[in-house]
Amino acid sequence: MKIVTYNVNGIRARLPRLIEYLTEQQPDIVCLQELKAADDGFPEQDIAAAGYGAVWHGQKGFNGVAILARDAQPVARQRGLAGEIEDEQSRYIEAEVNGLVVASIYLPNGNPVPGPKFDYKLRWIDRLSVRAQALLDAEVPVVLAGDYNVIPNDDDVYSVAAMADDALMQPESRQGYRALLAQGWTDALRTRFPAGKVWTFWDYQAGAWQRDAGFRIDHLLLSPQAADRFGGAGVDKAYRGREKASDHAPTWVQLRF
């Protein structure tokens, strides 16, 4: 079973690239982020025509997450995270697909630092940790997939100096991510590439793609029951180089089911 996380950076703008990816790779489950579309703007029919059922949690112009399943209909379990009643940003959706629990996560960027956006990012990580612990306690196969907007290690970025002041690499951001892992989650891509130097994102600016000046912010975390089925992980990097592509590449884990 191939489970993919893919920040599409606007599902309407990238729909041809998404359908192309689904058709060529035929992943079993795809977690999408940054839909930038309201619930009624989600292209359900186009995705169904490609052979995928879907659940989604949209927001007009910003954020938005979805879970797609090939030849199956995901069963939604939760939209949004508890802890801030006033939080209206669409950044979390959780569903079950054929016995596997999957969450699509779009963690806040947090820039500029310091400031309220960074404070919100750290609170959001804490709220995610509460939900993640509850999922671990259920002792079932779980994948927490998404754009975490956290560069966990120095070897997860092309240049430490270039990103030193960014919210993605602040000690507090990294500590939140590591605290999440310490609950008992396995970082799938890091397990496959322990030496790092594997990117999932390349900015549109300053020729980042052409220079391979990227970093790793798209992660798939596995519960112990999912990690026991680990069969590999990787980045479908070539899709970042296609015309009008997202600035993220599809990132995946293979589980034996």
**Mean pLDDT, contiguous 10-residue spans, the chain (257 residues):** 98 98 98 98 98 98 98 98 96 97 98 98 98 98 98 98 98 98 98 98 97 98 98 98 98 96
Exposed, middle or buried: residue 207 (CB in 10 Å: 0-12, 13-18, 19+)? Answer: exposed
pTM to 2 decimals? 0.98
- pLDDT of 257: 86
- pLDDT of 40: 97
Distance, in Å, from the CA atom of 102 to the CA atom of 98, rounded to the nearest integer, reads 10
* Percent over 90 (pLDDT), the chain: 100
Q: What is the mean pLDDT of the chain?
A: 98
Residue matched to tokens 């029951």: 225
Q: What would the pLDDT profile of 62-108 be if each residue is shown by its tens digit?
A: 999 999 999 999 999 999 999 999 999 999 999 999 999 999 999 99
Give, for 232, the enclosing helix (H) or strand (E): strand 230-235
**Residue 255 φ then ψ, to 5°:** -120, 140
Distance, in Å, from the CA atom of 128 to the CA atom of 52, rounded to the nearest integer, reads 27
- pLDDT of 200: 99
Running DSSP on this structure, what letter comes out for residue 79?
Answer: E
